Structure 1
């Protein structure tokens, strides 16, 4: 037997990716509902490559009673209005927004990293999906943490425009085209021109000078890996359509050589190590699109600190950073708690 699954925000970029991944991974489904705002109600949307089309249902009138799980991909405002309603109706919510991530009664899950934490979902019947940049980083850090205990992390991100949604992707395309034909590239979604540029600003600024994106990486990593892990982040938007990259420097409690770290990462779940010390012997965002893995390259020792390592980390942010992780949480939830006879 399968599950009755709802995808909320099904017509958005991440929602469509959730539907595609549910189909790709042959998630056991008896019934699936594509749900979105009234603007999209009645539209038809493809369920992956199954050939099946789903008629989009209106979220405002949708009854979550009798459904097993709902994958929310519509942003914090929608989650605030409907996630608890769904959870109280008996439908377990897997939420992709930032709304519940730091709630102590809501587990924040990356299945390769802290699967056991999902057992706490019953307090609210809600499970949180971490920020896209956090998700790929903790997948990379977990094996090193288990082997030698991560003490401090310094990370600089190079985040694609798809992390800001469809309008952001359209802006990069439009600005690139405008520049080629000599027209002005006026920013509307971003604070400055994104085409042929980088912007060291993602989300709102906080009083201490960090942005909310940087704070999320700090706070979420501590919740997932442990409060003693120190993190400092600089998050940068780059003119790439899909795929987040991160330059990560790790200081460990115990000695771990690059050679031993390579062996550990090569065997770690969810990681693909591609690290040839030659031209092209590393992975870039273009090559990770559509893949499930978190890719690690450029692994080397950092001689400026005791027990230091540096590496390059790339992942499809619409997949591991959002939709794939949510589906993996659904699979984990099914195996551990919602098994059907």
Structure 2
């Protein structure tokens, strides 16, 4: 017997990617239900070789549904996740709303999948699991094996984030501005605070009192929660004119010595990572190569001689996949692998 899976926000960029990956990975689903807001009722969405029609979230009964994968934004998750979870359905949420609740696990299976054992064993669990920010997910996948090998003390991260991280409106704005510039139209910003075509914007999400943005704070808080609270983290988040694929330049300071060659070997053996690191033109990964791929790519592995026990690396991933849709499905798969069905029947 398979599982019943509801995809909330199925008509959005991430929701559609969830449906694609469920089909690609042959997730053991007897039924997949596409849910959206009332304005999207009846809209057709592809799921493998099938076409699903979006149903209305507002009047859907979640009784008997095993997983609800939510990609509908924080306000929807705030209101709906507890209601869905109360029906006995496990909610895996892509929004930022539940990530920082102490009783909600924040999970990247390759990094801290073991927390799901404790969660499954807890009779008081709330049936909500959080998916991390897209930038954090790929970052911690790359950091985990290095942390295990030499213990990370501090990281400095600069992100180069694609417009798809801002949803369909972000993709449309880059497309329209790029076309417009070629015919001498004005590139009027709407979704972004400044022109994004042929430009970079060092500002993602709202500014906080200390001068960092909320996006930068998310990387700090989530890395600590997922990987190790003792790691010091600073981040600069930048929006770049790329449609899909987030990139990160990461400088790492370790407690113990680790060479570039040792790090390369460690990363090659780690789950979810593809090392592309030839010291020649083109011998590295870029966002273009990451699109449609499951792996997080690590390149430009080299020693940072400005600190003791330092490395610098370049990390690239498809933000709609590992940063969102793929990770949620991997969480569900991890729960199944850890005996979810037996525990539900107990």
With the shorter chain as reference, the TM-score category is: over 0.9
Q: CA deviation at 1:337?
A: 3.7
Q: How does 1:174-323 map to 2 (within 5 A)?
A: 174-323=176-325
Within 2, Cα distance between the matches of 1:117 and 1:201? 33
Within 2, Cα distance between the matches of 1:132 and 1:240? 15
Within 1, Cα distance between the matches of 2:223 and 2:249? 16
State the aligned residue count.
339
Structure 1 counterpart SS, 2:68: strand
CA-to-aligned-CA distance 1:22-77 (integer Å, 9 cap, x gap): 00000000111000000111222110xx3211121100001111110100000101
Within 2, Cα distance between the matches of 1:339 and 1:164? 36
Q: CA deviation at 1:335?
A: 1.5
CA-to-aligned-CA distance 1:204-246 (integer Å, 9 cap, x gap): 0000001000000000000001110110000000000000000
Match of 1:145 among 144, 147, 152: 147
Question: Which residue in the other structure is 2:74 paired with?
Answer: 76
Question: Which residue in the other structure is 2:330 paired with?
Answer: 328
Match of 2:174 among 172, 175, 182: 172
Q: CA deviation at 1:318?
A: 0.2
Q: CA deviation at 1:339?
A: 2.7
Within 2, Cα distance between the matches of 1:338 and 1:5? 14
Q: CA deviation at 1:153?
A: 0.4
Within 1, Cα distance between the matches of 2:10 and 2:322? 17
Within 2, Cα distance between the matches of 1:259 and 1:8? 44
Q: Does 1:57 align with 2:48?
A: no
Q: CA deviation at 1:124?
A: 1.1
Q: CA deviation at 1:190?
A: 0.3
Structure 1 counterpart SS, 2:113: helix
Q: Does 1:4 align with 2:21?
A: no
Structure 2 counterpart SS, 1:339: helix
Q: CA deviation at 1:101?
A: 0.4
Structure 2 counterpart SS, 1:140: helix
Q: CA deviation at 1:97?
A: 0.3
Assess if the C-alpha contact under 8 Å between 1:118 and 1:127 holds in 2: no
Superposition RMSD in Å: 1.0
Give unmatched runs, 5+ long, in structure 2: none
Q: CA deviation at 1:117?
A: 1.0
Q: TM-score, normalised by structure 2?
A: 0.97
Within 1, Cα distance between the matches of 2:333 and 2:341? 10
Within 1, Cα distance between the matches of 2:55 and 2:115? 32
Give unmatched runs, 5+ long, in structure 1: none
Q: TM-score, normalised by structure 1?
A: 0.98
Structure 1 counterpart SS, 2:39: coil
Structure 2 counterpart SS, 1:283: coil
Within 1, Cα distance between the matches of 2:126 and 2:228? 22
Within 1, Cα distance between the matches of 2:314 and 2:43? 41
Question: Which residue in the other structure is 1:44 paired with?
Answer: 44
Question: Which residue in the other structure is 1:97 paired with?
Answer: 95
Assess if the C-alpha contact under 8 Å between 1:172 and 1:239 holds in 2: yes
Within 1, Cα distance between the matches of 2:165 and 2:74? 14
Within 2, Cα distance between the matches of 1:266 and 1:336? 25
Within 2, Cα distance between the matches of 1:158 and 1:261? 23
